[in-house]
Structure 1
C-alpha cells in the first residue's frame, strides 16, 4: 500500500503576473495549492523538482482551460503529452439524419437481416437433406425409435384438434354459403363451394397453421432447452451428430404426418359441411355425396395434399433453426419460441399463396 512521503513541500508565490510553484507537485501536495491558482492565467513551473501522473493530469486540465504553462523540463513535458493523449474525448452524438434517411436505413437493415435469416434457413434445410442422405446410405445411423415417437407427438396427438377445427370450418362454410346462395336459388352449389374450398385450400392450410403453432414451438422449446443445458455440446463430445439425432427425426416426422393430417382435415371438413347443408338447406347426405363425387375433380385433392410435404419442411426447419439459436438464458428461449411460431405461420401462408399462383398458371 502506498505511504505518504515524508514532509512533501510545495511553495506557491506570485511573481510577474504568474503563479510560481516550487518543490514537488504530486498527488500528496495538490491539496496544498492556494486558491489563487484557480484564477491564474500563467503558471511558472520551473521551480518544480518533481511531478507525478496526478499532477500532470491536473496541469493538462488547466492547459485545456487556456492557462499557460512555463518552465517545464523535457521529461515533464513528455509526461504531460502522454497524459494529454490519454485524455478522454467527449462523446459526440451522431448527426441526426432526415426521416427519409432513417426510413431507408431501417429498411436496408431489415432486408439485410432477412437475407441472413434466409441463408441460415437454407443451411438448415441442407443439413436436413444431408442427414437424410446419410440415413439412407447408412441405415444403422438412422434412429427409427425417435422417428416413431415424434410421429406420435406431431401427428397422432394433433388429430383431435385438427379434426375439430376442420369440422367447424366446414360448418361455417356451409352456413355462410347457404345464406348467400339461397338468394340466387342456387343452394345446390354450396356443395361445390365446400368441396373446393376445403380440399384445395383451407383443409391443408389451416392444418399447417395449427401444426406450425403447436409443433414449431415444441421443436424450439425442446432443442432450445438442450442448447441451454449444453446437451448438444455433450452430443458432439460423444461423437454424435446433432443433425442425425435432433433435426432428422423431427423434420421427417412432420413430412410423414402432415399429409395424413391433411386428409383427416379434409374428411372432417366435408362431414361438417354435409351436416350443416342437411340442417340449413335440407340437402341429404346421399345428395351431398353424389354431387361431391360427380362434380368435384380429384385434382383438387392432389393440389391440396401436394402442399403438405413442403409445409412440413418449412415448419420443421424453422423450428429446429430457432431451437439452435437459443442462448444461455430463459429469455432467449421464450423469444425464439415466439419468433419460430410467427415465422412458421407467415412462411406457410406465403408458400400457400405461391402454390395458388403456380397451380393457376399450370391450369390445375
Structure 2
C-alpha cells in the first residue's frame, strides 16, 4: 500500500547548542505556498553556526530545491549535501547542486537607461557624418590608386587594353547617345518655352535664345549628361564588378597574378573619360536645337536669326566652361561605380545595395561639384 505524501516542513530546534534546523517531508510544488511561509518565518532566526539536518527530507523537485537554496543559503548548501552523515540520494544531491549553481550564476538583468530623443538624434547624425567621412577617405584612396595604376602603365604599351576600352566606350557612349539627345532636346524645348513665356511680359522674348544657350553651354548639358551617366553607367560598373566579386572572380584574377584595378577599373575610367565629353557636346547641340525649335514655332525666330544671335551674343568661353567639367565628372562617376563594386560582400542583396549607393553617391558628388564650379567660374568672371 502506497503511503500518502507528507507536506514538507522546516523546524528550528534551539534546545541544544548549537541550534539544529531540521528539514523533513516532501519539498515539492504541491506544498510550495506552505513551505514559502515557513521559510519566511525562519528567516533571520538562525546563523552560520546552526547545524542542518536533511536526513528527513522526502520528495524533492525544482520548486522545493529553490526554496531550500533560499532557506539554507549558498555557503551551507554547498557544504551540507556533501556531509558524511547526510542520507540524501544522489539524485537529490545533484538537483540541489544544479539549482544552487543556477541561482548562483543568475544575475538580474540591468535595465538600460532611457536615452532622450535629442541624444539619439545627435548619435545618428554623428554616425552618418562618420560614414560620409570614411567613404570620402576610401574614395580619395581609390582615386589615388587609379591614377597610380594609369601612370605606371604609360611606359608599358603592351599593358594597354585598347579592346576593353573601345568596348566600354561603345557601351557607355554610343549606346547612351539616343537617350541623352532626346532628354536634352526636350529639356531645351521646355527651357525655351518657359523663358519665352516669362520674358514676353517684359518685351524681351528675343533673349530666350541667350537663355537657352547660356544654360546648356554652361550647366544643363554637362549636368544632365553626368546625372544620366551616374544612373546608367555607375550602376552598371557596380553591378558588373560586384557580380564578379560575389562569384570570387576577383580573387581568381589576383591568383593569376593580374591587377584587378588595371584589368577592370582603368579601362572603364578611360572609356568614360572619352564618352562623357562627347555626350556632353551632343547634349549641348540637342538642347540648343530643342530651344531653336520652340523659338521658331512660338516666337517666329528663324533658324538663321537664331544662329546669328548665338554667334553675336555667346562667347566660346561658355562652351569651354561646360566642357572642362565633363572629364572631372566622368572620372569621379567611374571611380565611385568601380569602388562600390569592390565593396560587395558576396550576396545578391549586397550587389543591389551597393548599386543603389553608387548611383546616389555619384549624383550627389556631381551636383555638389557643379555648384562649386559654378560659383568659382562666376567669381572668376569666366
Residue aligned with 1:16, SS? strand
CA contact (8 A) 1:216 1:341 kept: yes
Q: 1:136 to 1:186 in 2, by over 3 A?
A: same
Among 213, 235, 241, the alignment partner of 1:223 is 241
Residue aligned with 1:217, SS? helix
Alignment of 1:62-211 (within 5 A): 62=67, 66-69=70-73, 70=76, 72-73=78-79, 83=101, 87-211=105-229
Residue aligned with 1:111, SS? helix
Residue aligned with 1:20, SS? strand
The 10-residue stretch of structure 1 (253-262 or 67-76) with the greater mean CA deviation from structure 2: 67-76
Residue aligned with 1:155, SS? helix
TM-score by length of 1: 0.83
The equivalent of 2:12 in structure 1 is 16
Task: Give the Cα separation in 2 of the matches to 1:63 and 1:200.
Answer: 87
Give 5+ residue unaligned stretches, structure 2: 1-7, 14-20, 44-50, 56-60, 84-96
The equivalent of 1:247 in structure 2 is 265
Q: 1:268 to 1:92 in 2, by over 3 A?
A: same
CA contact (8 A) 2:22 2:54 kept: no
Q: 1:88 to 1:341 in 2, by over 3 A?
A: farther
- 1:88 positional shift: 4.2
- RMSD, aligned α-carbons: 3.2
Task: Give the Cα separation in 2 of the matches to 1:298 and 1:76.
Answer: 101
The equivalent of 2:92 in structure 1 is none
The equivalent of 1:3 in structure 2 is none
- 1:76 positional shift: 6.3
Among 352, 359, 365, the alignment partner of 1:334 is 352
CA contact (8 A) 2:238 2:337 kept: yes
The 10-residue stretch of structure 1 (87-96 or 102-111) with the greater mean CA deviation from structure 2: 87-96
The 10-residue stretch of structure 1 (243-252 or 79-88) with the greater mean CA deviation from structure 2: 79-88
- 1:139 positional shift: 2.5
- 1:285 positional shift: 0.5
Q: 1:165 to 1:238 in 2, by over 3 A?
A: same
- 1:155 positional shift: 0.8
TM-score by length of 2: 0.80
CA contact (8 A) 1:46 1:71 kept: no
Task: Give the Cα separation in 1 of the matches to 2:339 and 2:298.
Answer: 47
Q: 1:266 to 1:72 in 2, by over 3 A?
A: closer
1:238-295, Cα deviation, whole Å (9 max, x unpaired):
1111111111111221111111110010011111111110011010101111110111
Computing the radius of gyration from Cα coordinates, the structure with the larger value is 2
Task: Give the Cα separation in 2 of the matches to 1:190 and 1:32.
Answer: 93
The equivalent of 1:5 in structure 2 is none
Q: 1:224 to 1:76 in 2, by over 3 A?
A: farther
Residue aligned with 2:23, SS? strand
- 1:197 positional shift: 0.4
The 10-residue stretch of structure 1 (131-140 or 194-203) with the greater mean CA deviation from structure 2: 131-140
1:5-40, Cα deviation, whole Å (9 max, x unpaired):
xxxxxxx77442745379xxxxxx998997565555
CA contact (8 A) 1:45 1:72 kept: no
CA contact (8 A) 2:185 2:289 kept: yes
Q: 1:276 to 1:163 in 2, by over 3 A?
A: same
